[in-house]
Amino acid sequence: MGVRMQGGASSDSRGYYRRMQAAVEELLILKGVVTAAEVDRQIEAMESRGFERGARMVARAWVDPAYKGRMLADGSAAAEELGLAVGPLRLIVVENTPEVHNVIVCTLCSCYPRMLLGIPPEWYKSRAYRSRVVREPRAVLAEFGMDLPAGVKIRVHDSTADMRYLVLPMRPAGTDGWSEERLAGLVTRDALIGVARVGEVVQAPPAR
Amino acid sequence: MTRSAEAAVPRFRPGDRVRVRAAHPPGHVRTPYYCRGRVGVIERLCGAFPNPEELAYNRSGVPAQPLYRVRFRAIELWPDYREDPDDLVEIEIYQHWLEAAEPA
């Protein structure tokens, strides 16, 4: 059976919701609405998806300005163009520049481009992140180890309805001539959410 | 984006100043409290989507409501905002929550 009974103190709300989730899941299976195998398959699909698809889109945008333009105009179409089936995802890509830094949140719940990036990190779903990043974004970013240079303005995107968001980080210096695959390897999930930058590549000293 | 005849006509265009209604209806609402009563600018029309306030109760949600991204200055949302006065917060808001605002 695919029922997962989670542990947890009987008096804490998280334990309560886990018990409710398990009860609803068991009932749906008993009534034949879904099968345990279907539930397991969906969970495996979600858990196996990492952020590589998002990183591929960023790498392509870095090397191909025309693709970047299309991606900023219609994120979902740009994903499909690379063969990334995103289904009903309505994607908006927001571009970081030397003047503007973007950061994504869903203050209401945990809306996230799951079809592209997989499951969101626990901190993204936390009340602390959701309530603070719209109110004091630089303080929150500093806690992620990110200090924005003076003069850079912040745009916080609250994913309250049907759109989902991806940050296009700035291409780091020191990557001229790199292949798309190599560039994609630099991109982190946190940079796609906006709580990190893609690190500058330090040049190796020239051989003597 | 729905192309059925059952979609409300968009009333706003990018650049329009709008105020979020300071309403507090019961039930499922996806307009955050922190922007209610505040003035922002339409950044784009995202399309028309079934009303989530109806979908939450197993109703059809049509006519679909135009959904906009509305750009707010952080200092407009938070009177004691301590960071850069040019910082922005952009929020997706359904048309039935918006009314035209006076010019700046």
Is B39 part of a structural domain of the chain? Answer: yes
Residue B47's DSSP bridge partners are B67
Residue A5 is predicted with a pLDDT of 45
Let me know whether A86 and A170 are in one domain: yes
Q: Is A12 exposed, middle or buried (0-12, 13-18, 19+ CB in 10 A)?
A: exposed
Same domain, A128 and A177: yes
A170: its two tokens: 């700035």
Contact status of A36 with chain B (Cβ, < 8 Å): no
**Residues A47-66, mean pLDDT to the nearest whole number:** 95
What is the pLDDT tens value at each position of chain B, 104 positions in all? 445 557 889 999 999 999 999 999 998 999 999 999 999 999 999 999 999 999 999 999 999 999 999 999 999 999 999 999 999 999 999 999 999 998 87
Report the domain count for chain B: 1
Q: Is residue B10 part of a domain?
A: no
Res A10: pLDDT: 47
Asked whether residue B4 is assigned to any structural domain, the reply reads: no
SS3 state of residue B102: coil
Query: Has residue A4 been placed in a domain?
Result: no
Helix (H, G, I), strand (E, B) or coil at B91: strand
Which of A162, A164, A165, A167 would best serve as a mutation to test chain B binding (most B beta carbons within 10 A)?
Answer: A162
What is the rounded average pLDDT for all residues in chain B? 93
Question: Same structural domain for residues A39 and A64?
Answer: no
Asked if A154 lies within 8 A of B52 by C-beta distance, the reply is: no
CATH number of residue B36's parent domain: 2.30.30.50
The answer to whether the CB atoms of B30 and A107 lie below 8 A apart is no
- What local confidence, expressed as pLDDT, does residue B69 receive? 98
Note whether A191 and A167 are within 8 A (CB): yes
Residue A34 domain boundaries: 14-48
Residue B2 forms part of a structural domain: no
Domain range for B74 is 17-100
Contacts made by residues A130-139, CB under 8 angstroms, sequence distance 24+: A130/A105, A130/A106, A131/A107, A133/A103, A133/A105, A134/A105, A134/A107, A134/A158, A134/B34, A134/B77, A134/B89, A135/B78, A135/B81, A136/B82, A136/B83, A137/A103, A137/B83, A137/B87, A138/B83, A138/B84, A139/B83
Is A11 catalytic? The answer is: no
A68 and A40 in one domain?
no
Same domain for A116 and A177: yes
- Residue A4, pLDDT score: 47
Number of folded domains in chain A? Answer: 2
pLDDT tens-digit map of A75-131: 999 999 999 988 888 999 999 999 999 999 999 999 999 989 999 999 999 999 999
In single-letter form, the type of residue at position A9 comes to A
pLDDT at res. B4: 52
SS3 A10: coil
Where is pLDDT greater, at A48 or A185? Answer: A185
In a domain, A7, yes or no: no
pLDDT of residue A196: 95
Which of chain B's residues have a Cβ under 8 Å away from the Cβ of A90?
46-47
Rounded to an integer, what distance in angstroms lies between the CA atom of residue B80 and that of residue B75?
A: 7
Say if B63 falls within a structural domain: yes
For residue B63, is the peptide bond before it cis, meaning its omega torsion is within 30 degrees of 0?
Answer: yes
**Is residue A208 domain-resident?**
no
What global pTM score does this model have?
0.88
How many CB atoms neighbour CB A73 within 10 A?
11
Claim to verify: residue A41 and residue A56 sit in the same structural domain: no
At residue A207, the pLDDT reads 55
Verify that A89 and A183 share a domain, yes or no.
Answer: yes
Question: Predicted confidence band at A14 (pLDDT cuts at 50, 70, 90)?
Answer: confident
CATH code of residue A158: 3.90.330.10
Q: What local confidence, expressed as pLDDT, does residue B59 receive?
A: 93
Judge whether A167 lies within some domain: yes
Does the residue B31 lie in any domain?
Answer: yes
DSSP letters, A121-186, are: PHHHHSHHHHHHTTT-HHHHHHHTT--PPTT-EEEEEE--SSEEEEEEPPPPTT-TT--HHHHHTT
Tell me, yes or no, if A41 comes closer than 8 A to chain B by beta carbon.
no
Task: Quote the longest CA-to-CA distance of chain B.
Answer: 46
Same domain, A21 and A91: no
Q: Which residue of A has its CA nearest to B86?
A: A153
| A111 labelled catalytic | yes
Residue B96 inside a domain? The answer is yes
* Residue A162 belongs to a domain: yes
Same domain, A89 and A151: yes
Sheet with B17-20, edge to edge strand ranges: A100-105, A153-158, B88-94, B65-73, B39-49, B17-20, B98-100
Average model confidence (pLDDT) for chain A?
Answer: 90
